Amino acid sequence: MKILITGGAGFIGSAVIRHIIENTQNTVINLDKLTYAGNLESLNEVSTDPRYFFEQVDICNRAELDRVLSHYQPDAIMHLAAESHVDRSIDGPAAFIETNVVGTYTLLESVRAYWNDLEPKKKASFRFHHISTDEVYGDLEGTDDLFTEKTSYEPSSPYSASKASSDHLVRSWLRTYGLPTIVTNCSNNYGPYHFPEKLIPLMILNAIDGKPLPVYGDGMQIRDWLYVEDHARALYKVVTEGEVGETYNIGGHNEKANIEVVKTICSLLEEFVPNKPKGVEQYQDLITYVTDRPGHDVRYAIDASKIERELGWTPEESFETGIRKTVEWYLNNKQWWGRVLDGSYSMERLGQGS
């Protein structure tokens, strides 16, 4: 297969590309605009493989999308390109509407034109896989409730509203035009190559630098944590074995309160980095409670029984094994996150092409 992946230089996208190149014989076309969160250094270990291609393209650019589809003739699209940071969506929602809604619409129209011109056999096997989030479902009230594929949408932030909009667009292109689409909604991802503004890498890097560990509100917001490499396996299984028109929820079966996550990181750092920054007696002493963000959902939790039942996928990592691997990765890969923090990773973007 030839699989075109939008947003392939991002956190989840790069994990999917690494998984496909390292574990299959498929060809991957990475289409990425290279915004602040896109980092080609996350793909260094596969970037020289002859089955990997890169195109620096904005999904809002219809002419460039048409060119890429015509040139590479992909058998499937995995659409991961998105603005994804909730705090950024609160401060500046316009970029989220542009990329997540207008960009998805533009991509759907380009793919629809390409798909309509395919010969019958290739047209029948083609798939458009849209990767979304559990945040579209909003907040869970009860302590035992779970998001299922039938849960109604109640997004709380500009980010989740823009992703909900893109989900609706994808499903309507199936219903109206027959475009063979599949949607997945995942829980919170974590793992190697995660952009440092996100909770887990932020806490690791702040702690080893002796900086405060900012926790929103009382820290009791509960999330279901999914190791990114488990997610990558699930996404590949869906695009190759999933049924057109279906939705699959992907979760890690690891509900943890944010404060529990932060304290777990602190405990691991006590083990791995006992020589603390000057003035720090225990890493947990750095925890600082800050004003909660507007519209902050309290609890997310995924029922991932459908993908297990129908496609045979289950996560391989528990939170305990995954978070240990993640902390160790950040401690051993200062060059990667150091170049992100000082901005040098982004200085080489100009002129990036295929």
Instruction: Find the catalytic residue in 32, 58, 135, 317.
Output: 135
Q: Give the integer Cα–Cα distance in Å for 3 and 68.
A: 12
Instruction: Find the catalytic residue in 72, 114, 137, 159.
Output: 159
DSSP assignments along 152-199, one per residue: PP---SHHHHHHHHHHHHHHHHHHHH---EEEEEE-EEESTT--TTSH
Cβ(226)–Cβ(191) under 8 Å?
Answer: no
Q: Give the integer Cα–Cα distance in Å for 319 and 321.
A: 6
Whether 316 is catalytic is: no
Tokens describing residue 6? 């939008």
Q: Give the integer Cα–Cα distance in Å for 319 and 152.
A: 28
Beta strand pairing call for 213-216 and 76-79 = unpaired
Instruction: Find the catalytic residue in 32, 83, 134, 317.
Output: 134
Cβ within 8 Å of residue 334, ≥6 positions away: none
Give residue 281's identity as a one-letter amino acid code: E
SS3 content of the chain, % helix, strand, coil (to 5): 45, 15, 35
- Of 32, 31, 28, nearest to 3 (Cα)? 28
Write down the H helix ranges in 99-157: 104-116, 120-125
| HSE-up (13 A, CA, CB side) for residue 247 | 19
Whether 41 is catalytic is: no
Whether 159 is catalytic is: yes
The residue assigned the tokens 């589809």 is 69
Cβ(108)–Cβ(181) under 8 Å?
Answer: no
The 10 Å Cβ neighbour count of residue 282 is 12
Which residues form the catalytic set? 134-135, 159
